[in-house]
Amino acid sequence: MKIAVLIKQVPDTDEVKMDPEKGTMIRDGVGSLINPLDLNALEAALFLKGERGGTVTVLSMGPPQAERALREGLALGADRAHLLSDRAFAGADTWATAKVLATLLEKTGPYDLVLAGEKATDGETGQVGPEVATLLGLPFATYVSRLSATDGGLEVRRTVEEGYQRLRLPYPCLATVLHDLNEPSMPTLAGKKRGRRAEVTRWGLSDLGLEETEVGLSGSPTRVVRIAHPKITRQTAFYGARDLDRGIAHVVALLKEKALLQGGGQA
Amino acid sequence: MRTERNGLGGVFVVAEVRRSGIHSCTLELVSKARELADARGREVTAIVLRSPSEEPVEPLFRHGADRILLVEDERLGSLNAEVHSRIVAHLIGKGDAEIVLAPATTTGRTLLPAVAALIHTGLTADCTGLEIDAETGLLLQTRPAIGGNVIATIKTPDHLPQMATVRPKTFPVAPPQDRLGRVERPLLDESLFCTSVVCLGEESVEGEEVDIQGLDVIVSGGKGLKRPEGFRLLQELADLLEGAVGASRPTVEAKWISYPHQVGLSGKVVAPRIYLAAGISGAVQHLAGMQTAETIIAVNKDPEAPLFRVADVALCGDLYEILPRLIDAIRREKEERHD
Ligand SMILES: Cc1cc2nc3c(=O)[nH]c(=O)nc-3n(C[C@H](O)[C@H](O)[C@H](O)COP(=O)(O)OP(=O)(O)OC[C@H]3O[C@@H](n4cnc5c(N)ncnc54)[C@H](O)[C@@H]3O)c2cc1C
């Protein structure tokens, strides 16, 4: 089974501190790591490889430093790694990102299965997976919390608002996965060594055979008009041990004001 | 692209159809769509894809739709991303949509990206604000990023339609008007239904409200509960307020409660009218999921708990003392109202 995993390098939010003045995240000096849900996708890919044989390829689009995330993927057990890095790719929205990733999957494939995290912790759009699948004409499933590979296709369980939906998708297909799919492993020492040495193939615009107008900012249908850093200021009413009665009365008054105490009354 | 389309068909809303029927977040979007369509002098069309049903669609008219495109087919009973997205793409293309909105639910967030890829246009996820730019007539889409720490305004200048998913409970449902519209049942080519994906079944999670995102009140618990039974106390409070129970990640990892309840960076992003957090310290990853709530109430025994810094009301003390007292006070208040 040939499996591709799409990974994204994101800022390490564990290290992110809040700027108390501006109410923004301080990103300077913050490390980066593989988007947590992408690790679940990689773990699933490695599991399937163990079960059914084959190869796992990790792919990422990003600045040259994103190579680190790919090396981490190699350290965890991926066989091959491809990095899409070109100044022309900068400023891509989800459409332009999906376009480039889909093209690379075509160039390096064919794959039986493409896996990705449901969303990234920085952009949080969850759009790239479905867009890649659709550009490649692949059937896909999102919000996958369980998956197994059978000869007849990939069987998945999607976690949705009302419960679960179970699907069988024929190969080739794409799935985006959730955190409760599995428990990602840590790299071994031998893995880390391999990750440092293994080759990461670099791809630029000309290698993909795409036009400059199809990628990056110029290939993006959406434009950011402005970015605001809202300072969420709340006047905190603080009630300590001796004021708890007043504090509770304050909460009840708030509930009343918001008309949240009207229902039923079957107390 | 804008060159082939001109958007005279106005604003389209993709209805959220669940097993229980058309979900109320559809009415929120139709209400907002009405406002946007009026600013553009265009119509509002709602797309309803479902298996044959008796449920009336007229409420969509009363909240702002001019037209409903109703497709009823046994094969539409369960979401099939391929089929549903193809049909939506076909209908908005044929209808020459200028703007397409869908709820940012698991369904909307699955369908719309596929539609955007099919028709090559932009899509903005999880919008919390939508307005028409008076100068250009373009849709200005506002969304929080990086856990609400940054608010980005986005537009789609050269492609049509302009598409966005919108979090439930972002916009109010407009008061119902005495108005009607047209129900059209478009005939669809059989090829649109072609798929190789098989639905093996659907299960509801029994006795559990998994959808915490759409409720006015969320009562969340963290490690400070000390034991899984603590969630019963929270459930009692949530039931009183017709709300849902949320949780911090460690309590989900300890299996005190299931994952659909998790709030935060790797869980759900919620913006209820009241968010009450008990025994939650307020790590950035948790804040990322709830700091845009209208009102935040925090219960913690540590006066330095970071969550207090974003709270409107801070109750400092043992949650096992405070919550029962709060529950009593709410009961008393409700009884008084009842008498
Ligand atoms: C990549 C990543 C993603 C993450 N995603 C999420 C996420 O989605 N959601 C999430 O919540 N976390 C997430 N986390 C974890 C997060 O960093 C924190 O570890 C977590 O939120 C802490 O949970 P907590 O507040 O319940 O526990 P703690 O931090 O242990 O806090 C317990 C609190 O309870 C208080 N307390 C104790 N006893 C009592 C009592 N009797 N009465 C009142 N108060 C009491 C304590 O003072 C303390 O403040 C993530 C972490 C990472 C690295």
| B24 lies in some domain | yes
CB A191 within 8 Å of CB B240: no
Searching chain B, which residue's CA lies closest to the CA of residue A162? B204
| B155 lies in some domain | yes
Residue B291, SS3? coil
Ligand 1 in contact with B223 (CB < 6 A)?
A: yes
Q: For residue B212, which of B258, B165, B251, B172 has the smallest C-alpha distance?
A: B258
Range of lowest pLDDT (A204-218, B143-157, B285-299): B143-157
Q: What is the pTM of this model?
A: 0.82
B252 and B121 co-located in one domain: no
A232, B296: Cβ pair inside 8 Å?
no
CB A41 within 8 Å of CB A117: yes
Domain ranges of chain A: 2-214, 234-267
- B237 alpha carbon, distance to own chain's centre: 23
Which one of B113, B150, B296 has the shortest CB-CB distance to A227? Answer: B150
Q: Which residues of A touch B150 (CB under 8 A)?
A: 24, 227-229
Going through B213-258 in order, the beta strands assigned E by DSSP cover 217-221, 244-247
CA distances (Å), B286 to each of B246, B250, B276, B290, in order?
A: 11, 11, 13, 7
Which one of A16, A140, A223 has the shortest CB-CB distance to B155? Answer: A223
Q: For residue A46, which of A79, A68, A83, A72 has the smallest C-alpha distance?
A: A79
Which one of B155, B276, B311 has the shortest CB-CB distance to A234? Answer: B311
Range of lowest pLDDT (A75-89, A223-237, B68-82, B242-256): A223-237
Q: Which residues of B touch A220 (CB under 8 A)?
A: 122
Which one of B265, B316, B334 has the shortest CB-CB distance to A13? Answer: B265
- Distance from Cα A16 to the centre of ligand 1, integer Å: 16
ipTM: 0.87
Q: Which of residues B160, B193, B226 is at a domain's end?
A: B193
Structural domain total, chain B: 2
Window 55-74 of B, Cβ < 8 Å to A: none
- Distance from Cα B305 to the centre of ligand 1, integer Å: 10
Question: Which tens digits make up the pLDDT trace of B22-47?
Answer: 999 999 999 999 999 999 999 999 99
B187 and B219 co-located in one domain: no
B28 and B85 co-located in one domain: yes
Q: Which residues of B touch A123 (CB under 8 A)?
A: 145
Q: Does A265 touch chain B (CB under 8 A)?
A: yes
- Distance from Cα B260 to the centre of ligand 1, integer Å: 17
Mean pLDDT of the B64-93 span: 97
| B206 lies in some domain | no
- A14, A158, A167: best mutation site toward chain B, by most B Cβ within 10 Å? A167
Q: Which residue has the higher pLDDT, B16 or A20?
A: B16
% pLDDT > 70, chain B: 96
B173 and B43 co-located in one domain: yes
- Binning pLDDT at 50, 70 and 90, where does residue B270 land? confident
Which one of A98, A142, A222 has the shortest CB-CB distance to B156? Answer: A222
- Residue B328 scores a pLDDT above 70: yes
| B134 lies in some domain | yes
Q: Which of residues B144, B160, B193 is at a domain's end?
A: B193
Ligand 1 in contact with B319 (CB < 6 A)?
A: yes
Q: Which residues of B touch A256 (CB under 8 A)?
A: 333
Mean pLDDT of the B88-97 span: 96
CATH of the domain at B225: 3.40.50.1220
Burial class (CB in 10 A: 0-12, 13-18, 19+), B103: buried
- Distance from Cα B279 to the centre of ligand 1, integer Å: 8
Domain extent at residue B315: 212-338
Q: Which residue has the higher pLDDT, B266 or A216?
A: A216
A267, B240: Cβ pair inside 8 Å?
yes
pLDDT at B167: 85
B183 and B227 co-located in one domain: no
B159 and B230 co-located in one domain: no
- Residue A267 scores a pLDDT above 50: no
What is the rounded distance in angstroms from the CA atom of residue B45 to the CA atom of residue B328? 47
- Binning pLDDT at 50, 70 and 90, where does residue A12 land? confident
| B3 lies in some domain | no
Window 146-175 of B, Cβ < 8 Å to A: 146-159
Mean pLDDT of the A67-91 span: 95
CB atoms within 10 A of CB B182: 12
Q: Does B327 touch chain A (CB under 8 A)?
A: no
CA neighbours within 13 Å on the CB side: how many for B21? Answer: 9
Q: Does A168 touch chain B (CB under 8 A)?
A: yes
B76 and B41 co-located in one domain: yes
Q: Which residue has the higher pLDDT, B87 or B7?
A: B87
pLDDT at A14: 57
B316, A239: Cβ pair inside 8 Å?
yes
Searching chain A, which residue's CA lies closest to the CA of residue B325? A248
| B171 lies in some domain | yes
In degrees rounded to 5, what are phi and psi of residue A18? -90, 140
| B178 lies in some domain | yes
Residue ID of nearest Cα to ligand 1 atom 43? B300
Mean pLDDT of the A82-92 span: 94
Q: Does B288 touch chain A (CB under 8 A)?
A: yes
Mean pLDDT of the A231-237 span: 79
Mean pLDDT of the B133-148 span: 85
CATH of the domain at B97: 3.40.50.620
Q: State which amino acid sits at residue B200.
A: L
B186 and B314 co-located in one domain: no
Distance from CA of A251 to the nearest CA of B (A): 7
B320 and B222 co-located in one domain: yes
Ligand 1 atom closest to residue B222's alpha carbon, by position in its atom list: 26
- B234 alpha carbon, distance to own chain's centre: 23
- Residue B173 scores a pLDDT above 60: yes
Close Cβ partners of A99 (under 8 Å, ≥ 6 residues apart): A135, A210, A214, A215, A219
B188 and B302 co-located in one domain: no
- Binning pLDDT at 50, 70 and 90, where does residue B20 land? confident
B72 and B183 co-located in one domain: yes
- Residue B1 scores a pLDDT above 50: no
| B188 lies in some domain | yes
CATH code for A2-214? 3.40.50.620
What is the rounded distance in angstroms from the CA atom of residue A129 to the CA atom of residue A118? 7
Ligand 1 in contact with B281 (CB < 6 A)?
A: yes
B177 and B134 co-located in one domain: yes
- Binning pLDDT at 50, 70 and 90, where does residue A230 land? low
- The position carrying tokens 């004001």 is A257
Strand partners, B296: B275
Q: Which of residues B162, B193, B224 is at a domain's end?
A: B193
What is the rounded distance in angstroms from the CA atom of residue A138 to the CA atom of residue B103? 24
